[in-house]
Structure 1
Amino acid sequence: MKIALISDIHGNLPALKAVLNDIKKHEPDAIFCLGDLVNFAGWDNEVIDLIRKNNIPCLQGNHDEGIGYSKKIFPYSFANEAQQQFGIDSIRWVNEHITNSNRAYLQNLPFLFKIEIKGLYHTITIAMVHGSTTSNLEYVQESTDDAYLLEMMESIEADILCMGHTHKPWHRPIFCEAENKKIYRHAVNVGSVGKPKQENNRACYTLLNIKNDAALSEPAAVHVQFEFVHYPVKTVIKKIASLGLSDAYNNFLLNG
């Protein structure tokens, strides 16, 4: 089974369109979104409308929750005072322009997805969250230790845990013992479509491939592939400027 995973679009419609077009080439069996549809690039309603039009199941990220419940301020990451002020101004702008229908949609997004893939030897359980298994605000980094990652997976009975929120893609197979069997569990961050924080500035999404005869005793039973897609960054910069927001993220968008 092949699953495409997207996350952290943040109102960046050009990036989302580029990613969805790229995903089509791979013909996945399913597409899931791990949250944070809104707040940053200004196409918030258009992003939600496109996700809904394509019937893509989506989780509730911290920005979705904040805008969904009309919060004037909520936790978000920033690197300096200019980006902090940008965030305050962006939240205000989105709250003023989001439609009632889309606000209601954001309010009702779920916290967790779990799916089961029945293979020849195993039923593999995939769990998806925005931040962590307990909070859509928690940053689970690549440096997070194995014990905590396994603890999260065991708490929700998952073999594979897929996350967003940090905007940085990574994958780690973790060797462990479960029910007297030696297996590998997998922790994956799927990266960001609309506000990527990897070393390049391209939109990122993840392809998760699980073969029917996959054996969890083999680390390669789960294949994780990160895809990076070019999109018209300067169009996004112009859009942000048209909203009356600052250029605090221009260099970030251009250079990653």
Structure 2
Amino acid sequence: MTRIVLFSDIHANLPALEAFFKEIDSRHYDSIYCLGDLVGYNIWPNEVINEIKARKIPTIAGNYDFGIGRAIDDCGCAYKTDEEKANGAVSISFTNEIVKSEEREYLRTLPAHIRVEFQLNNDKLNLLLVHGSPRKINEYLFEDREEKSMLRIMQDADADIMCFGHTHKPYHRVLNSGTEDAPHYRHAINIGSVGKPKDGDNRGGYVILTINDNSSILTKDTVQVEFVRFNYDIEKAAKAVEDSRLPNAYAESLRKGV
């Protein structure tokens, strides 16, 4: 079997990233991927980028990385209120000011997605890693997405297992695009957020995906997904926000996990 660590949405939260690395260093895994959004909303974008680079972790671009990589004032975020929009404008402006040129170049050259194809049991099993969705870097795939829509997205992308972040709310849905007699099980997995969780649990989160030698699209339970939560110094991250010109609302969201 192979065990794959997947993490996403650090959002310049260095204390969370350091705790995440400490957590995974105590575990056995075979490979690791980052699904983007290294920057935004906190004071350590350069440090986070350089930690990822130092470990040579294959990483795709998140919507925030895409914006900062091109020094534009749009992160592609779906802010709902005028207050959220105003806070978001401060965050992207602040991040653009402090990100250094070499780090910005790294963000600009990150790939849009990563595809891994397994050959098992005379059949292929396609793992697709995206940030928002295969269609758009900033598309939100929430858990209540209509089944037909989710299946269409996965079929069009030829994804048997699709892992993504962006919403900061972890879940695992198993969908059948075949029939009862000839099933084709597909797994939609939101891996949550390391540095800015929004599911009411303020701990950082990531996923360990296990693919066995008998994993198959024909069998529902041969792909295992473990959601892992870990503690980190939330007050350090929140205080860093409050001591900067970033909106205090981002400190509160870290404390509350929303």
The CA RMSD over aligned residues, in Å, is: 1.6
Q: CA deviation at 1:41?
A: 1.2
Distance in 2 between residues matched to 1:43 and 1:152, nearest whole Å: 34
SS class of match (1:3):
strand
SS class of match (2:189):
strand
Matched positions, count: 255
Q: CA deviation at 1:81?
A: 4.2
1:29 aligns with 2:49: no
CA contact (8 A) 2:237 2:251 kept: no
The percentage of aligned residue pairs carrying the same residue is 37
Match of residue 101 from structure 2: 100
Match of residue 4 from structure 1: 5
Distance in 2 between residues matched to 1:199 and 1:121, nearest whole Å: 42
1:157 aligns with 2:165: no
Match of residue 209 from structure 1: 210
Instruction: Provide, for residues 100-128 of structure 1, a one-character-per-residue CA deviation record: whole Å limited to 9, x for no partner.
Output: 11111111111111001233453211001
Deviates more, 1:165-174 or 1:71-80: 71-80
Distance in 2 between residues matched to 1:91 and 1:26, nearest whole Å: 35
Amino acid at match of 1:214: S
Amino acid at match of 2:48: V
CA contact (8 A) 1:18 1:231 kept: yes
1:111 aligns with 2:127: no
Q: Where do residues 212-227 of structure 1 align in structure 2 (5 Å cutoff)?
A: 212-227=213-228
CA contact (8 A) 1:171 1:187 kept: yes
Instruction: Provide, for residues 162-195 of structure 1, a one-character-per-residue CA deviation record: whole Å limited to 9, x for no partner.
Output: 11111100100112228x9422111111101111
Distance in 1 between residues matched to 2:211 and 2:74, nearest whole Å: 40
Amino acid at match of 1:18: A
SS class of match (1:138):
coil
Distance in 1 between residues matched to 2:249 and 2:152, nearest whole Å: 38
1:65 aligns with 2:70: no
TM-score by length of 2: 0.93
Match of residue 191 from structure 1: 192
SS class of match (1:65):
helix
Q: CA deviation at 1:79?
A: 5.7
Gaps of 5+ in 2: none
Gaps of 5+ in 1: none
Instruction: Provide, for residues 8-41 of structure 1, a one-character-per-residue CA deviation record: whole Å limited to 9, x for no partner.
Output: 1110111111112212222211111111110111
Q: CA deviation at 1:137?
A: 1.2
TM-score by length of 1: 0.94
Match of residue 147 from structure 2: 146
Amino acid at match of 2:213: N
CA contact (8 A) 1:122 1:214 kept: no
Amino acid at match of 2:115: K
